[in-house]
A and B are shown apart, each in its own frame.
Chain A
Amino acid sequence: MKIIVSIKRVVDYNVRVRPKANASAVDLSNLKMSINPFCEIAVEEAVRLKEKNIATEIVVVSIGPQEAQEQIRAALAMGADRGILIKVEEEAEIEPLAIAKCLKSICDAENPDLILMGKQSIDGDNNQTGQMLAALAECPQATFASELFVDGGHVVVTREVDGGLQTVRLILPAVVTTDLRLNTPRYASLPNIMKAKKKPIKEISPDDMGIDISPRVTILRVDVPPKHAEGVQVADVDELLDKLKNEAKVI
């Protein structure tokens, strides 16, 4: 079984971002970049399927600038076999629809049985790409996966939904997007990091694939939301209850 995992290079989740002075975009200069945490979970799941001899090959795909190679290398160090970088300009804002079209083109060439990706990226917080790829590839989809197992030509996925858990069974090929509790990604070992340097990464551009990635949505401005007013410290339970009753009037 062949798995494609798509990953995204994003600002590290510990970094607090700010708008540029002219509010035109988020200021990303000189920030620490990482694999989107949900994507890392997708890579880990693929590697586990390979370790169980269910998967035979893992191809990692990313869309981004040249530097996104770093994140592909990190995924190769975790255990993926080879990479594909769909290269775009540094500042290009690639929307989920365009990403899904690029991934669809890769899927047409690679014929994967399973496509894994994070449920959302922690920058755009869109939560769209997997569902859109599934639609374009005419595959079934399972979003918010917290558990999955492959059963012959099917994948059975437990999804974290608002009310609790939902289990679905999909015919392969299928798209599964990963949630937080699917697994805990490993740290790559030094020998595996060294080995990953020798694994191949192919480069391709949206133009090569004949895909128009021009945005459909314009970002007019970005702002910092109004801050919740800094409050007061209360001395004890009595003061707290008194304030909630007489000052905030919420009890």
Chain B
Amino acid sequence: MMSILVIAEHDNQNIKEATLHTVTAALALGNNVHLLVAGFGCAAVVTQAASIKGVVKVLAAVHSVYEHQLPENMALLIKEITFGYSHILMSATTTGKNIIPRVAALIDVQPISDVISIESQDTFRRPIYAGNIIATVRSHDAVKLITVRATAFDAAIIKGNSTLVEVIDKVYDFKKSEFIRDDLAVSERPELTSAKVVISGGRGMENSENFKLLERLADKLGGAVGASRAAVDAGLAPNSMQVGQTGKIVAPELYIAVGISGAIQHLAGMKDSKIIVAINKDADAPIFKTADYGLVADLFEAMPEINEKLLKYID
């Protein structure tokens, strides 16, 4: 029986939420799902990986060359273990997009990016043209290499008991690339891509200080704070908060767009949200065409009022 390999994304301490969603996509292809954890000092990740429901085997490649999941070393490693796998999947995050195409070229496969639906073993659906078109595609390659859009699949659950772990002692060091540093945004709030509530600000926020209006609401609702490209370009928010075609794709229960006009590139990142609220003083802003509830108002009046009155409405 052919197996399915999922490449885990992690920071050597915790497995990324997106990987759990990718495991669910893998389970739609078959039951024999293996998970590769390549990292360094990542024992906790291996333990987490071994307790994901549906994963029957964890492959652990633990060495300093894999510490930062540099694509050069990861691709050489994955290439060596492809034998016996019909599908290799990774989340369509910046890490997955960095690694999977490199592996694919090494084994002469045309990968499928950003899969949102698995129709059969070889047929998948994926958005193109900023999500304005959904293409149904069939791969003719012997091995399918896929990146998975996390918001399109539920997260696999962590079940507690643990599965088999196989150690891989292969060490691949490409040597021509070197990790210098990470400058990661630290936030106590949930990850944007998995938050149940996302409140995003656009250029209408005027300055970064005003994002506190959104943070206050996010904290009351247990949500995350995002931003439009215009807001990030203007320096109002860091790139890690960008929602859109080239930023993060989110699909929360509730998305609140504040001072965002609604360019199609932004809509590409949030239009699959269940309920969309738009708050904008411009009644003609295109965002209102995609919103379930539109409030034409000055955000600097509406947001404090929402923050004040919300407690009456939430339990």
Binding site for B on A (CB under 8 A): 11, 13, 16-17, 19, 26, 95-97, 100, 119-120, 122-136, 139-144, 146, 156, 159-171, 174, 179-181, 215-225, 228-234, 236-238, 240-245, 248, 250-251
Contact = CB atoms under 8 A, between A and B. Distances in A.
Contact of A217 (B98, B106, B110, B184): B110
A27 to B, nearest CB: 10
Interface of B: 68, 70-72, 75, 93-95, 97-106, 108-114, 123, 127-141, 174, 176-185, 193, 197, 221, 229, 232-233, 238-240, 245-246, 248, 253-254, 264-265, 271, 274-277, 288-297, 302, 305-306, 309-310, 312-314
B180 A162 contact: no
Given A135-B75, A144-B94, A164 B305 contact: no
Given A169-B177, A224-B132, A236-B295, A131 B309 contact: no
Contact of B129 (A96, A122, A233): A122
A217 B140 contact: yes
B240 to A, nearest CB: 5
Nearest to B110: A216
Nearest to B267: A228
Contacts of A133: 105
Contacts, number: 253
Q: What secondary structure prevails in chain B residues at the interface with A? A: mixed
Interface of A is mostly: mixed
A131 B101 contact: yes
A250 B294 contact: no
21 contacts: A96-B111, A125-B245, A130-B101, A132-B104, A135-B104, A140-B174, A141-B102, A143-B98, A163-B240, A167-B181, A168-B180, A179-B246, A215-B110, A222-B128, A223-B136, A224-B133, A240-B293, A244-B293, A250-B197, A250-B254, A250-B274
B102 A134 contact: yes
Contact of A122 (B130, B139, B291): B130
A218 B288 contact: no
Nearest to B278: A231
A127 B179 contact: no
B16 to A, nearest CB: 9
Given A128-B111, A162-B95, A135 B102 contact: yes
